[in-house]
Amino acid sequence: MYYQMRNWYNFTWLSGDFNLEQHVHFLDVCAYMARSTLLAIMGRMAAYTGQEITWEMALNSRENLGPDRYDWNGAGSDPFHSAHAAIPVVVVSACLSR
C-alpha cells in the first residue's frame, strides 16, 4: 500500500487515470490564463483611466474596444486611420548619433 500511495500517478484507483490527470491539469492552465488575461486587462484599464481597478469593476465593465459593427465589405471604420488608434512614436535619435 505504501508503494502505491507514493506512486499514486501510476495507479488508476488513486489518480483517476492518465487522461483525467492531464485534463484536470489543462483546466488548471485555462483558469490560470483567464486570471492572467483579466489581470492584464485590469492593468490597461488602470493605466488609461488613472483609477484603481478592482476585479468586480473589470468583470462588470461595459467597455468595448472593438468596432461598432463587424463588416467584411469595408463599411466599418478603418482602425489605421481612426482617431481612437493612437500610434506611439519612439524617439531613437540618441541611439543613431553614436
Average pLDDT over all residues of the chain:
77
Segment 44-71 shows an average pLDDT of 88
In which band, very low, low, confident or very high, does the pLDDT at 71 lie, cut at 50, 70 and 90? Answer: confident
In which band, very low, low, confident or very high, does the pLDDT at 91 lie, cut at 50, 70 and 90? Answer: very low
In a domain, 89, yes or no: no
31: containing domain: 1-65
- Rounded to whole angstroms, how far apart are CA atoms 1 and 17? 18
Per-residue CA distances from 53 to 58, 61, 63, 79 (Å): 7, 10, 13, 27
In a domain, 37, yes or no: yes
In a domain, 78, yes or no: no
The predicted structure's pLDDT at residue 95: 47
In a domain, 13, yes or no: yes
In a domain, 92, yes or no: no
In a domain, 12, yes or no: yes
The predicted structure's pLDDT at residue 85: 52
pTM exceeds 0.85: no
In a domain, 81, yes or no: no
Residue 74, SS3 per DSSP? coil
